[in-house]
């Protein structure tokens, strides 16, 4: 079984541990984080050092790669870019909880996490470093671009597209054929009946754009 590490300690990384253990495809050796001392345990797994130590850790433990433990899309991007600069050979893997239902002809790229109870219907495409959170659904022929995310219980109709770095918050619903531009946020419980432009914050039923946002603005 290939050995991996998780970069970053957060609530999201704890969920990653659970998914990886249940999938039983990779062996977790430990985690890296700059805020926790080496040897600190997270759900039984030790902190092995900081991100800067990854080349040494990879060599010492025969690690093939790993995942980024950050729920924020922009933060996940920055950590992944940092790791690639530190170790160009580091392989980002994907993990899918066994309870997830993945339809035919679905494409899931590396770095992506599919959590418990997720349903992805046929002919959908999920980019790199995406998150499909607990009990979210992505209907047929839909697209999630790199570093985008669906929060718990998000539901999309068919032929939807979520742009890069955009986040659809807890319990939101996207009607059939909806496009959400890049770096946008759809608020919790919203019902989206028309397209959302890039760099927008939108919420409500029906959803309205409330204000613009900048790249990297916090939303978690």
Does the pTM surpass 0.95? The reply is yes
Q: Where are the alpha helices (DSSP H) in 87-122?
A: none
CB 13 within 8 A of CB 41: no
- Which pLDDT score, from 0 to 100, does residue 204 have? 97
Q: pLDDT (tens digit, 9 = 90+) per residue, 138-169?
A: 999 999 999 999 999 999 999 999 999 999 99
Mean pLDDT of 38-62: 96
Tokens linked to 149? 């995310």
Which residue(s) pair with 167 in the sheet? Answer: 149, 185
- Which pLDDT score, from 0 to 100, does residue 116 have? 98
CB 7 within 8 A of CB 32: yes
Mean pLDDT of 191-206: 98
Burial of residue 81 (number of CB atoms within 10 Å: 0-12, 13-18, 19+): exposed
- Which pLDDT score, from 0 to 100, does residue 74 have? 98
Domain boundaries, the chain: 2-92, 95-211
CATH of domain 2-92: 3.40.50.20
Q: Which residue bears the tokens 């890049």? A: 182
Give the fold, CATH level 3, of 95-211: UDP N-Acetylglucosamine Acyltransferase; domain 1 (2.160.10)
Is the backbone of residue 11 left (phi > 0), alpha (psi -120 to 50) or beta?
Answer: alpha
pLDDT at 220 > cutoff 90 = no
Q: pLDDT (tens digit, 9 = 90+) per residue, 105-126?
A: 999 999 999 999 999 999 999 9
Measured CA to CA, the distance from residue 27 to residue 105 in angstroms comes to 28
Percent of the chain with pLDDT over 70: 100
Distance from first CA to last CA of the chain, Å, rounded? Answer: 34
Coil/strand/helix, residue 93: coil
Mean pLDDT of the chain: 97
DSSP state of 220: -
Q: What is the torsion angle, in degrees rounded to the nearest 10, for the CA atoms of residue 193, residue 197, residue 202 and residue 207?
A: -10
Mean pLDDT of 181-198: 98
Measured CA to CA, the distance from residue 215 to residue 194 in angstroms comes to 22
Q: pLDDT (tens digit, 9 = 90+) per residue, 82-94?
A: 999 999 999 999 9
Q: pLDDT (tens digit, 9 = 90+) per residue, 13-36?
A: 999 999 999 999 999 999 999 999
pLDDT at 191 > cutoff 90 = yes
- Which pLDDT score, from 0 to 100, does residue 23 have? 98
């Amino acid at each position: 079984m290939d050995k991996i590490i998780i970069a970053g300690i957060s609530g999201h990384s704890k969920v990653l541990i659970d998914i990886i253990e249940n999938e039983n495809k990779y062996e977790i050796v430990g985690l890296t984080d700059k805020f926790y001392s080496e040897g600190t345990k997270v759900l039984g797994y030790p902190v092995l050092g900081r991100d800067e130590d990854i080349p040494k850790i990879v060599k010492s433990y025969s690690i093939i790669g790993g995942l980024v433990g950050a729920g924020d899309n922009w933060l996940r991007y920055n950590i992944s870019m940092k790791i690639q600069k530190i170790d160009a050979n580091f392989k980002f893997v994907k993990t899918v909880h066994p309870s997830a239902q993945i339809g035919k002809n679905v494409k899931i790229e590396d770095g992506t996490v599919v959590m418990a109870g997720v349903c992805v219907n046929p002919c959908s495409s999920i980019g790199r470093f995406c998150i499909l959170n607990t009990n979210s659904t992505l209907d047929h022929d839909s697209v999630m671009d790199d570093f985008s995310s669906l929060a718990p219980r998000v539901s999309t109709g068919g032929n939807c597209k979520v742009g890069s770095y955009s986040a659809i918050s807890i319990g939101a619903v996207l009607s059939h054929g909806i496009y959400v531009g890049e770096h946008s946020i759809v608020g919790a419980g919203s019902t989206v009946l028309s397209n959302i432009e890039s760099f927008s914050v939108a919420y409500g039923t029906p959803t309205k754009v409330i204000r613009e946002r900048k790249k990297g603005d916090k939303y978690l």
